[in-house]
Amino acid sequence: MSNKICLIGLGYVGLPLAVAFAEKFKVIGFDINQSRISELENGHDRNLEVGDDLLNSINNDITYTADIQDAKDCNIYIVTVPTPIDKTNQPDLTFLIDSSKTVGSVLNKSDIVIYESTVYPGVTEDICVPELEKSSNMKFNKDFFCGYSPERINPGDKEHTVTKILKVTSGSTPEIAKKVDDLYKEVIIAGTYMASSIKVAEASKVIENTQRDVNIALINELALIFDRMGIDTNEVIEAAATKWNFIKLTPGLVGGHCIGIDPYYLSFKAEEVGYKPDLILTARQINNGMSKYIADKTIKEMTKSGKIIKGSKILILGVTFKEDCPDMRNTKVIDIIEELKCNGANVDVYDPWIGYGKEPIWYKHGFIDNPLESDKQYDAIVVTVGHKQFKEYNRNDYEKLSNGKSIIMDIKGIVENPAWRL
């Protein structure tokens, strides 16, 4: 039987994958957000992961829907929904559970459900499978099967796209593992790696970002130490990087849907089995504290220059969690904004990658149009994201924004002679 694939969730992960599979298979793209469905039917991806030209060229091969009944004749279901954390940093599996119930309602005998969402080891078989069984009234590994193939999407990266990143695969039986692996091999140019079990594949994903989080936390802690010593951290890194085995990272904010969240999934499971992951949790604490440190340094530099914080005007350049993409998920720039506002500053925020409208969030955080096209001037400018547009700013641009008297704080190492650089 030929495969007909349904992608559950059409966000940063699901849409690029749907487009890739549509070149070889019949594809249904399902999302509960009807406005997202309409947008994709009209050939536009607000996340900018898939260009309009490609989306329009492939649209005849993908059927978009918010009605799961339209996907009832599919035999492969790939779940790519978010797995966030709650206010207490505990895993929130609501989207995953709801998606499993939805898929279960249309599951047929011998169908395969593949999960791509980042989870701690055991979630697929211990949490998702029971929901599938309950909704479908069928038995796991007898009537239907599961796979796990963790997503490795890097938002905004046009070089390492979904088909060019090696894919880890797994299945609930050896036969299904082979089928899942063969399925991804059809579209993943970079190749696949078949893990020995679903749990191994789940664990491999959650440690990818945990490792990166810990490494960045080390660099951030070093930056805090060197700042107190009056040493430029970036110069230290450049010198240390002359050794062949030094891992070259730079200090900064850790946001996004992966690096700042996945470690909590692993630490949750670790504590559940009786182990407290001190290193992982300390790394999270260090990285989460960087926003306040940056805000405090901004206030300190302004005070040293004789500026009064209350009523001052501060410009934030960049609010997305990383450069050159519109992704605001878990951005730590918001924490800088709130900290400055709590100290009485008036904060404007400009980000050329955000198409904002009249929703309350934009007014709450003070979003503005291009400040270079206005006459407004600021007491301090904080460069928080290294967008390519900001890399083109020169000394004249900063003088226009500040009348030459602004305190410039450079978080991304792209400003010449700032007042302070992380």
Which amino acid, one-letter code, is at 134? K
Q: Is 25 left (phi over 0), alpha (psi -120 to 50) or beta?
A: beta
Residue 31 to residue 51: CA distance in whole angstroms: 19
Rounded to the nearest angstrom, the gap between the alpha carbon of residue 419 and the centroid of all alpha carbons in its chain is 30
The answer to whether residue 146 is catalytic is no
**165 to 17, 256, 331: CA distances (angstroms):** 12, 19, 25
Choosing from 146, 258, 325, 342, the catalytic residue is 258
Number of Cβ within a 10 Å radius of residue 116? 24
Token duo for residue 315: 């410009």
What is the chain's Cα-based Rg?
Answer: 23
CA 69-75-76 angle, to 5 degrees, is: 100
The 3 state secondary structure assigned to the chain is: CCCEEEEECCCCCHHHHHHHHHCCCEEEEECCCHHHHHHHHCCCCCCCCCCHHHHHHHHHHEEEECCHHHHCCCCEEEECCCCCECCCCCECCHHHHHHHHHHHCCCCCCCEEEECCCCCCCHHHHHHHHHHHHHHCCCECCCEEEEECCCCCCCCCCCCCHHHCCEEECECCHHHHHHHHHHHHCCCCCCEEECCCHHHHHHHHHHHHHHHHHHHHHHHHHHHHHHHHCCCHHHHHHHHCCCCCCCCCCCCCCCCCCCCCHHHHHHHHHHHCCCCCHHHHHHHHHHHCHHHHHHHHHHHHHHHCCCCCCCCEEEEECCCCCCCCCCCCCCCHHHHHHHHHHCCCEEEEECCCCCCCCCHHHHHHCECCCHHHCCCCCCEEEECCCCHHHHCCCHHHHHHHHCCCCEEEECCCCCCCCCEEC
Q: What residues act catalytically?
A: 258
